[in-house]
Chains A and B, each alone.
Chain A
């Protein structure tokens, strides 16, 4: 219970931070700043939650006192805890409270990339001892954050932020980790449709990676390499992107930098393009993991360009990004004194699944050029366009870029090849300065030579990719997508029916009464309670409550079970709503 101790021992002045927080709130910057103050910062809209939190706190405090006076209990693994009849009920209650508070705080922060960044697989057995005690620790942390009171004497302030961020986010995930669904061993476990991973082709990938050509070793692979990445890999990446992005001219390996994951690429890029406190425009909803990418190390803020689900003048479809919206967001940012250095685009979009048309893309790039903004374009899902009728156009396919020196493209194998565990990301930029500066991170974000070799072999095998992998992957994605969308249609749940990505963006606001983020969160927890992990829209900075992202790239069996649980929760939710509706008029 170290953290508990830390949580109590605070005396550090916090005014300055609170002030800073107030500012960032004012300026409607994505609230990745100073987690511990954030909840306080968002008062206006979150009063209700605050009250709930404070109310629950008393109860929880009592329970903590009770529980901490029984240390042996706390050391029991979660499983045992759960089966412990004597204390089961109370603890279950506590767990719910903890969950609620945690996610409440999370929700207040508004920026969680919920589970996507959490990851462990086979470590499930490991960290699960004293789960409950850890949850309590985390709870104390959270509460401390609410009070702006948490200080660790060992960490720097930014260290505290970084670690608090992780703790708040890890909460649900740790629970998941200890109780993961498994086809044979744990059919009652959590099904994770929150993390964007493609698990449909692990058979193909395992087979390909097991072939003997992958296991080549030479001394250069075990030695320091060019910090930008091994030349053979950069050449292969350039060839690969030339081909799959349909680049009009051969791409130059000198413009390629490879690092350990797209998160690293983005972080390095944000660092060299922006000074601390500067911002990137970001159409929302968007993949929240990038907030961390930009924030943990680089302290670069993301400035949301809020999109509407409603189709209005000038837009042809829901959540459409228009230059008007960009102009407006830029203006607002400037008025607030924010220095905007660039625009962040994700194409195919995550979580919408939208693909930008050639014309739109060009307009966005022209907009950026007008204001000397960099454009970071993340094409992480470019080969996960499974619907043939959808035409994806990579930014690298354009005949001429409006501002080539300020256009930077990111791609990796995590999504398109379903190997997020490989930790590979690539930057393509015409700007030599940017490439050089990002290369400085080659030491800190480098990839193992052995991994670089395997990646090179993989990208090289055009035959296998074109004839085996991509067709299979697309048809499996299509089937899984069809299965999920049919279910949603049957349930009359509106969703964006797109042919790319690994996810469906759906609207569950019918199930929220009232339609608030508080209710969205409660519904999210209802899913969790039924062992199903989805990502609520709030974590994508969506400004309308009720949206959820569902990952469909899982095997048929867990997918089917997941939809069953999904249905159960919604049915239960609906019953409750009816009761509520019945009660409400009676109250009046």
Chain B
């Protein structure tokens, strides 16, 4: 453990944000990495944060290069949460007292359907061409199928082109490749936080690109607003802030439906964000990996590809994968759609590292082609099962009086456990997470999503009933026990879930922040070594990792 260095210890007391808190186990389910750092004397400290994934890195190795050391550290920290889980995975028969995983965002509800479909004879074709070097962009038959598929399910006004499709082994690779071909080392993307934290690692490992968080908060400020709402003003502020620090921002990442919020951007919002990006000549990467996991009809999801006119089509890049919507994260199939041929070509050049077996490409093409099965069997059943699981977990949370956010999309519920944190610190958040893990249930804490308010947790509900019930039972046990302890400091029990309705669940007390002691961010911290990966020496950024 390292002491907080002198010049950093004057971190503003108005900033109880992630910069001054500890993130001990940097993985809690998704292989997530987080980063966080803040310039101490910036003007608007809570509006954005410049990510520095390597800030906590400290070890040195005689065998690895400098960056190799950092990359290894990524691995070590990513392992932490998982390691515990993998050593003691729940199994109905063999290990009933093992850990239930409500942390990894995977859909485990439809394996029966998928297994049946993937075992049909059309899937099993083997031919020489599939065994030899492919077109690096992906076999043409697959790219054509992807274009047709996206045209249909994204409701594209005009047919999408196979030429604009690049196939890679998962969306992680798409992020990695895009970061590399769009940014120089050390440049950045804007991303509204909380966000799926693994992206930090995806853009950093090869690309050495970092993320500037656009912090959203749970507070609802007006009648037409919602918790964690992204606005153009917030984007503008974050961009300005980053620029003022000399950070070159090259793009904006939007996840829609959002992970972990389950939020969906309306077409008007989307248009505004795209216009913002155009004004500043930013690329927009829209991650729509949950687009078919909108299980609530009323939500009215719209893909960016459905817009009549993209403000800046040459700078709009859409990614999709089968990982979530078809519950096949292990299949490693992801795709980029971009009208920009330069970008497509450059990404394709990197596909030699991100290739997908020809046999799997064949299977994917067969799967995406089978509109009957998708529309009549898979999607209705998948949505019904997601809805049922969601209803169950939502009910459990209501019974516990826990406010949460969930809008009928994705596999997760974003739960507000702030009332269980007497001091409202990230250290407590982590301790609560650890308590869950000790009680054999793995969830994800908000810090992993770069959420700036301590106390938020993501619970994944897309699991089989028996596991889900057991998982929720364990969650309940922890919270009921914890809740009593937490009542001791009265200041923290100010918030009762005043609204149990799912769509407007939150209301942060304005005064509550004051009760949180910024001094609780006293945690031991690791000084940032000069960032090896980044040329910007002017930013002293600090963050805390370790165990």
Interface residues of A (CB under 8 A from B): 2-3, 6, 117-123, 125-127, 152, 154-160, 162-163, 165-167, 195, 197, 199, 202, 205-206, 209-210, 214-215, 217-227, 260-261, 263-264, 267, 271-276, 278, 292-293, 296-298, 341, 374, 405-406, 418-424, 431, 433-434, 436-437, 439-441, 443-451, 454
A444 to B350: give the CA distance in the assembly, Å. Answer: 11
Known: A165-B349, A297-B180, A436-B75. A215 touches B67 (CB 8 A): no
The answer on a CB contact under 8 Å between A443 and B353 is no
Chain B residues with CB under 8 Å of A297's CB are 180, 206, 350, 353
Closest chain-B Cβ to A303's Cβ sits at a distance in Å of 16
> How many residues of chain B have a CB within 8 Å of chain A?
92
A223 (CB) vs chain B CBs: closest residue: B330
Listed by A's residue number, 8 A-B pairs whose Cβ atoms lie within 8 Å are A156-B250, A162-B346, A163-B181, A222-B328, A260-B332, A272-B71, A421-B130, A433-B72
Which A residues are in CB contact (< 8 Å) with B141? 122-123
Write the nearest CB–CB distance from A534 to chain B, whole angstroms: 17
Interface residue? B68 (CB, 8 A): yes
Q: Is B495 an interface residue (CB 8 A)?
A: no
- Tell me, in angstroms, the Cα distance from A125 to B143 when the chains sit together: 13
- Residues 321-339 of chain B, each 1 if its beta carbon lies under 8 Å from chain A, else 0: 0000001111111000000
- Asked whether, in the complex, the Cβ of B342 is within 8 Å of the Cβ of A121, the reply is no
Using a CB–CB cutoff of 8 Å, the interface residues on chain B facing chain A are 31, 61, 63-69, 71-72, 74-76, 78, 86, 104, 106, 108, 111, 114-115, 118-119, 123-124, 126-136, 139-141, 143-144, 162-163, 169-170, 172-173, 176, 180-185, 187, 198, 201-202, 205-206, 250, 283, 314-315, 327-333, 340-343, 345-346, 348-350, 352-360, 363, 532
Residue among A165, A222, A223, A421 making CB contact with B358, cutoff 8 Å: A421
Interface SS of chain B: helix, strand, loop or mixed? Answer: helix
In angstroms, Cα B357 to Cα A454, docked, is: 11
- Check if B71 sits within 8 Å of A271, measured CB to CB: yes
- Would you call A166 and B348 a contact (CB within 8 A)? yes
Task: Please state if B205 and A222 are interface contacts (CB–CB under 8 Å).
Answer: no
CA distance in complex: A123, B345 (Å)? 16
Name the A residues within 8 Å of B126 (CB-CB).
Answer: 205-206, 209-210
Q: Give bound CA distance, A581 to B327, whole Å.
A: 70
> How far is B354's CA from A263's CA once the two chains are assembled, in angstroms?
10
Contacts of B348 in A (CB 8 A): 166
Q: Apart from A120-B133, A162-B181, A163-B342, what 17 extra A-B contacts exist at CB < 8 Å?
A: A119-B133, A126-B162, A154-B315, A154-B343, A156-B187, A158-B184, A199-B128, A220-B330, A224-B104, A271-B71, A276-B67, A296-B352, A297-B350, A421-B357, A440-B75, A444-B205, A445-B169
Which of A123, A224, A276, A444 is in CB contact (< 8 Å) with B329? Answer: A224
Instruction: Decide if A127 touches B140 in the complex (CB within 8 Å).
Output: yes
Pairwise interchain contact B132-A163, C-beta atoms closer than 8 A? no
Closest residue on chain A to residue B116 by CB atoms: A217
Cβ contacts under 8 Å, A271 to chain B? 65, 67-68, 71, 206
Docked pose: A210 CA to B121 CA in angstroms: 11
Q: Is the CB of A446 within 8 A of B132?
A: no
A374: B residues at CB distance < 8 A: 63
Residues of chain A with a CB closer than 8 A to B169's CB: 260, 423, 445-448
A395 to B205 alpha-carbon distance, docked (Å): 30
Contact assessment for B65 and A2 in the assembled complex, using a CB-CB cutoff below 8 Å:
no
Query: Within the assembled complex, what's the spacing in Å between the Cα atoms of A226 and B349?
Result: 27
A3 CB contacts on chain B under 8 angstroms: 341-342
Q: Which residues of B contact A298 (CB under 8 A)?
A: 206
CA distance A274 to B115 in the complex (A): 43
**CB neighbours of B201 from chain A (8 A):** 440, 443
Q: In this complex, what residue of A is CB-closest to B114?
A: A222
Q: Bound complex: CA of A306 vs CA of B436, how far in Å?
A: 60
**Contact of A6 with B67 in the complex, beta carbons under 8 Å:** no
Closest CB-CB distance, B259 to chain A, in whole Å? 15
Q: Contact between B72 and A210 (Cβ–Cβ < 8 Å)?
A: no
Given the contacts A223-B106, A451-B357, A6 and B124 also touching, CB distance less than 8 Å: no
